[in-house]
Amino acid sequence: MAALRSGSTETPRGPMLSMTNADTNQTQLLFIPEDLPPGVDQPAARLLAAYTLLNGEAARASSTLLPELIGPHMMKAVPGLLGSPYAGFVDAVGAAARENKKVVADLGAVPASTVATAAIRQRAVQMFDTAPTIADQIRFASNATLPQLQGLVEVDALSILPDNAQSAIMDRYLMLSYASKYGIASKYPAIAKPDNPIPSGINNDAVESEAKAMIAAVRALTKKIENCSQIARDCIAYVSIACQCPVGQAFDLITRQA
């Protein structure tokens, strides 16, 4: 067992706490950014406050207890200090993740085919399957219409493509699906131009811009949720240093509310 050193720092992106084993100099950082998923701000603030209290408890224990008593003392303190705030943070992140997945699933769902679209979908799959190379398949899918992409997504044809190509094509599919499902084209009538002074139809650039912004927001939220998962892992590792115990035991402590 060893004494502990704890600290806190304000960064341009949010607060960062640290916990160090004074004997081994093993350090764990806990960074909680200001830019968090919707509904996670308050649970994250509670979590930060709880870990700040943990730092204070570590400092008091290190200054008043024998080194061999610090770990056991911190183990007793953790459930009461961290159990509820940690559970609240995890629950909030889980709720944000479920809502985000629901949005993606809704946009990605392939509607039942109609007489008009069934043949288009079938033909698209045939053209994709008979393309001579992966590059040709990527080229075809990257320029496919919404009904064609629906055919490819319906049979999971895109799964054979490299991850980066598959991701880009799926983003395009989600954009087209969003524009179609929510009828955003009606918001953007074509604008008058010198070569089209009496416009008709829709402003495709504006429709595409809104759809792109929507999908970018979904992807950004996905990234924020992934960052929150890392925060939860860091929370557990932080307790492992503070209590001088294995990570598995730290997880048991932090998830056992007093």
d(CA 245, CA 13): 30
Helix (H) or strand (E) holding 21: strand 14-21
DSSP state letter for 233: H
- Tens of pLDDT along the chain (258 residues) come to 678 999 999 999 999 999 999 999 999 999 999 999 999 999 999 999 999 999 999 999 999 999 899 999 999 999 999 999 999 999 999 999 999 999 999 999 999 999 989 999 999 999 999 999 999 999 999 999 999 999 999 999 999 999 999 999 999 999 999 998 888 878 887 787 887 788 777 788 888 899 999 999 999 999 999 999 999 999 999 999 999 999 999 999 999 854
| Burial 101-131, CB ≥16 within 10 A → b, else e | eeebeebeeeeebeeebeebbeebbebbeee
The partner residues of 15 in beta bridges, in order of sequence, read 10
Query: What is the side-by-side order of every strand in the sheet holding 4-11?
Result: 4-11, 14-21, 27-31
The predicted structure's pLDDT at residue 257: 55
The residue ranges of every structural domain in the chain are: 4-106+224-254
